[in-house]
Amino acid sequence: MLNPNTDTPVWLITGCSKGLGRALAVHVLAQGHRCVVTARDLDSIRELISAHPDHQAAACAVDVTDPDQVARAVRLATDRFGRIDALVNNAGFGYNASVEAGKDKQIRDLFETNFFGLASLTRAVLPVMRAQRSGHIFNVSSISGRVGSPGSAYYAASKFAVEGLSQGLAKEVGPLGIRVTLIEPGPLRTDFQGSSMTSAPDSVDDYAQTVGLRHERLRATHGHQEGSPARAAEIIFRVFQDAAPPLQLLMGKRAIEMADVRLREQFAELNRHRQTSLSVDVDS
C-alpha cells in the first residue's frame, strides 16, 4: 500500500467551490490521492476537506488573478506534500455579449481569470514539475475553445487563447516528462450558465436571430445540461493515470457534434482555397 505521506500523487485544483472543480476534488480525495483544494472563498471548501486528514487534504483561498495567492498555493502544496503531480487550471467564468455590446472592463476581467490567471499558476508550478521531471497540467478549456458561437465570442476568445498556450506548452515540456491535456467540455450540469455567467444587455435588433436566440437557449437549458460533472471528474482522473494521455479531450455528445462540424468545415475550406494559399510562396 502506498505511503500517504510520500507516495500518493498530489493534485492542485483551482475553482473548487462548485461545478467540475468541486466534483474533481471530491473524486481525487475519495481515491486516496492528496490534494490542495482552492477557491476564492475559503468557507466554500472547508466542508469538502473536513473529512480528510491534514496529510491528505489542504484548503487554500486563491484568486488566480492575485500573484501572491497563486504563489502561496504552490508553497502550500510543496511545503505540505513535497511535490505537485497534477495541476488543474479550472477557475473561470463565462461572459455573454455580442461583440458590439461587450464592455471593456468585463472583457478584461474575463481574460484576467480565464487566461492570465491560468498562465500565472502554470508558470508558478512549472519549476516544481521540471525539478521532478514529471507532472500533468490539465487546462480546462471548452468546446468554445474550438468553436466560436454568437453571443459568447469573448468567452470563446479566452478559451482559444488557452488552447494556443497549451499546445505550445505541451511541446516545450513534453521532453521534460511533463504532460499537458486540454479538457473541452460541452454543456455540463453545473451553475456555469447561472451565477458563473455574466452578461451584457443587447438591444440591437439585428442580433436577435443570432445572439438573442442563443442566449434564450442557454437560459432554457440551464439546469438540464447533458454532461455530468461527476463523470467528467472520473474521466480526468483516468486520463491522469494514462501512459499516453490526449492533448485535447472533448467531453460530451454536444461537444463531439460541434467539433465534428467545425473540423469538416475547416477541411473543406482549406481544400477549396488550397491553390490560393499556396500561391503566396515565392517561386523557387
CB atoms within 10 A of CB 97: 23
Residue with cell string 464592455 = 103
- Residue 116 half-sphere exposure toward CB, CA atoms < 13 A: 11
3-state secondary structure 163-216: HHHHHHHHHHHHHHCEEEEEEEECCECCCCCCCCEEECCCCCHHHHHHHHHHHH
Please report, to the nearest 10 degrees, the dihedral formed by the alpha carbons of residues 147, 196, 114, 188 taken in order: -50
Determine whether 207 is an active site residue. Answer: no
Quick one: DSSP state of residue 152?
Answer: B
* AA identity, residue 129: M
Of 62, 55, 53, nearest to 21 (Cα)?
62
Known active-site residue 155: yes
User: Can you tell me the distance from the alpha carbon of 83 to that of 85, in angstroms, rounded to the nearest whole number?
Assistant: 6
Catalytic residue among 18, 95, 120, 159: 159
Residue 161 grid cell:
487563447
Q: Which residue among the candidates 155, 158, 166, 207 is catalytic per the annotation?
A: 155
Catalytic residues: 141, 155, 159
